[in-house]
């Protein structure tokens, strides 16, 4: 067997782990990895900023359930990737970032772009380390991926110096670990009995599901659970789409009132973080059952009556069976129907502006036009502030993984990188990015990447020429005369995309929106509609929550 260099070992290890694509921005420190990927048939997608590479790897993981991989060069390549890593960390997304480093033989002497990457990455990853022997590269990649996938998933970082990558070794002396699924436990019999008793005793139970549902692939189990018992279900994050928007158990707008009156909250793969007001949104006397992959999140910010740790899908299936055996026929239809009346009343708020003729365009008119345009094969990615918060309450999500946003880190700039990964992972689907005009500026140059790789990504920019989510409270607190650093120009972002070789169009009147959407869809190449909008009215924003 011939000698192979370290870059080939990286690619072989990634291939063995099921990696199909890497996202990267070139650098001399990492060139051998590209050479190895060519030999192993791993696709190389090169972007315009390392942050975008990690965002794309994050989206790939969310959409496929398998680790996403970003490869970045040393020094500024690693530091440029930090925001993407931090976003994946808060979103529990299994991403492997491989970073270059100066020669190991010169470590500490000040080689080009040398720095302590591992120390930078350690606080925002599940594991961060370095490999200094070429023969051990596959071993370290396996270790990193086990950390990425165990418990609640998350990003990991592996540094590989340039001389370790370029060095040739006898492949017969290299051990290639076997990759196996990470085992996850099911519920204990005692926990199931307690869960069944708590639920059976409740009169107004509510189910709230979060992103860990995705990492257990528990969508079907969750849907079967709430349908069998006729329980109201609220979702956020990657749990969105568990039920279709017309399902009788699906709720979106009545959450505050439901949580304020519930006597049992079942939190499935979510957290009592800012999105649930750290548990304070729940009635103080309500009992709580919390299901998750990770034991350390159980009871964080809000005490629970029962925590069940393990595979969420397995827990829900066995819990449903326990209810059928111990409490046959127990359903909560009357409570669910009472909550439906509240839901319909709350939904009326978001119908404001649906048919508004106003110019500049009412942002809710834009959202409702988009709701009529998207279908069951459209992946929608929200990258912005006010406009995305509004769209998340209006746009239907027909199935899991058809809505994507940054997650609890809330960073801007994920739009194009997420879209690139989505279109690569699902070439048969339509991919649409809804931008705020501020968000476009972060990674808008990734339209160049989309054009180079022939990815027909659609986008809509809600352009109100401001960082409105910040400018509005700034004016309220300080007055318009002191509103600084929050105004933008009414830039023609459609022309930016045209300059890259895509399709662009300006939209200024509400009746122009739908025809422009249809032309964009028919263009067959990366496209952008620049829609001149007004800011969201305060009456809408006062009712917004995540």
Instruction: Give catalytic residue positions.
Output: 29, 50, 113, 410
**At CA 16, angle to CA 13 and CA 18, rounded to 5?**
115
Q: How far apart are CA 127 and CA 119, in angstroms?
A: 11
Comparing CA positions, the residue from 39, 321, 303 lying closest to residue 195 is 321
Q: How far apart are CA 254 and CA 341, in angstroms?
A: 9
Q: How far apart are CA 456 and CA 428, in angstroms?
A: 11
What letter does residue 436 receive in the DSSP assignment?
A: E
Is residue 309 packed enough to be buried (19+ CB in 10 Å), middle (13-18) or exposed (0-12)? buried
Q: How far apart are CA 131 and CA 182, in angstroms?
A: 23
Find the helix packing angle between 50-64 and 415-425, rounded to 10°: 40
Q: Does residue 411 contact residue 438 with C-beta atoms inside 8 Å?
A: no
Task: Report in angstroms the alpha-carbon separations of 324 from 28, 43, 312, 317, 330.
Answer: 61, 48, 18, 11, 8
Name the 3-class secondary structure at 331.
coil
Q: How far apart are CA 11 and CA 17, in angstroms?
A: 10
Q: Does residue 151 contact residue 293 with C-beta atoms inside 8 Å?
A: yes
Is residue 276 packed enough to be buried (19+ CB in 10 Å), middle (13-18) or exposed (0-12)? buried
Q: Does residue 406 contact residue 87 with C-beta atoms inside 8 Å?
A: yes
CB within 8 Å of 262: residues ≥ 6 apart: 204, 205, 206, 282, 283, 286
Q: What are phi and psi of 267, to 5 degrees?
A: -95, 115
Comparing CA positions, the residue from 123, 91, 322, 323 lying closest to residue 210 is 91
Comparing CA positions, the residue from 544, 495, 504 lying closest to residue 525 is 504
Task: Report in angstroms the alpha-carbon separations of 153 from 56, 60, 268.
Answer: 17, 14, 16
Q: How far apart are CA 95 and CA 93, in angstroms?
A: 6
Query: Which element (helix H / strand E) includes 373?
Result: helix 363-373
């Amino acid at each position: 067997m011939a000698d192979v260099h370290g870059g080939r070992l990286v690619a072989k290890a990634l291939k063995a782990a099921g990696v199909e694509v890497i996202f990267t921005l070139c650098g001399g420190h990492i060139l051998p990895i590209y050479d190895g990927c060519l030999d192993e048939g791993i696709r190389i997608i090169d972007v315009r900023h390392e942050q975008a590479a990690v965002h794309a790897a994050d989206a790939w993981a969310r959409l496929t359930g398998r680790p996403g991989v970003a490869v970045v060069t040393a020094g500024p390549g690693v530091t440029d990737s930090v925001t993407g890593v931090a976003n994946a960390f808060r979103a529990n997304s299994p991403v492997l970032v491989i970073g270059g480093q100066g020669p190991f033989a010169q470590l500490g002497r000040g080689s080009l772009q040398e720095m302590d990457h591992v120390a930078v990455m350690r606080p925002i990853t599940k594991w961060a380390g370095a490999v200094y022997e070429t023969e051990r590269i596959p071993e370290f990649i396996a270790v990193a991926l086990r950390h990425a996938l165990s418990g609640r998933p998350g990003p990991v970082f592996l540094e590989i110096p340039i001389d370790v990558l370029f060095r040739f070794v006898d492949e017969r002396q290299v051990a290639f670990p076997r990759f196996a699924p990470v085992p996850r436990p099911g519920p204990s019999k005692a926990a199931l009995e307690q869960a069944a008793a708590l639920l059976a005793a409740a009169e107004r139970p509510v189910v709230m599901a979060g992103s860990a549902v995705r990492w257990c692939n528990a969508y079907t189990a969750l849907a079967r659970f709430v349908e069998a018992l006729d329980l109201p279900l609220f979702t956020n994050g990657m749990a969105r789409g568990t039920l279709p928007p017309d399902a009788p158990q699906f709720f979106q707008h009545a959450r505050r009132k439901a949580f304020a009156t519930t006597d049992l909250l079942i939190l499935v793969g979510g957290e009592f973080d800012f999105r649930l007001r750290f548990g304070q949104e729940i009635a103080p006397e309500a009992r709580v059952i919390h299901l998750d992959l990770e034991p350390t999140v159980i009871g964080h910010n809000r005490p629970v009556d029962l925590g069940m740790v393990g595979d969420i899908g397995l827990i829900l299936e066995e819990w449903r069976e326990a209810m059928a055996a111990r409490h046959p026929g127990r359903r909560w239809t009357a409570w669910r129907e009472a909550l439906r009346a509240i839901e319909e009343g709350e939904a009326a708020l978001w119908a404001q502006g649906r048919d508004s003729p106003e110019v500049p365009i009412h942002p809710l008119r834009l959202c409702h036009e988009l709701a009529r345009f998207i279908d069951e094969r459209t992946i929608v990615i929200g990258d912005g502030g006010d406009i995305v918060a509004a769209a998340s309450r209006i746009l239907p999500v027909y199935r899991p993984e058809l809505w994507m946003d940054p997650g609890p880190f809330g960073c801007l700039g994920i739009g194009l990188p997420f879209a690139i990964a989505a279109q690569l992972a699902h070439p048969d689907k339509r991919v649409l990015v809804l931008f705020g005009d501020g968000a476009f500026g972060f990674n808008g140059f990734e339209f160049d990447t989309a054009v180079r790789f022939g990815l027909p990504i659609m986008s809509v920019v809600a352009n109100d020429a401001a960082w409105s989510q910040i400018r509005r409270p700034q004016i309220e607190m300080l007055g318009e005369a002191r509103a600084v650093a929050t105004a933008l120009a009414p830039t023609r972002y459609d022309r930016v995309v045209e300059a890259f070789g895509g399709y662009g169009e300006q939209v200024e009147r509400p009746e122009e929106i739908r025809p422009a959407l249809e032309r964009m869809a028919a263009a067959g190449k990366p496209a952008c509609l620049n829609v001149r909008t007004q800011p969201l009215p305060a009456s809408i924003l006062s009712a917004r929550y995540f």
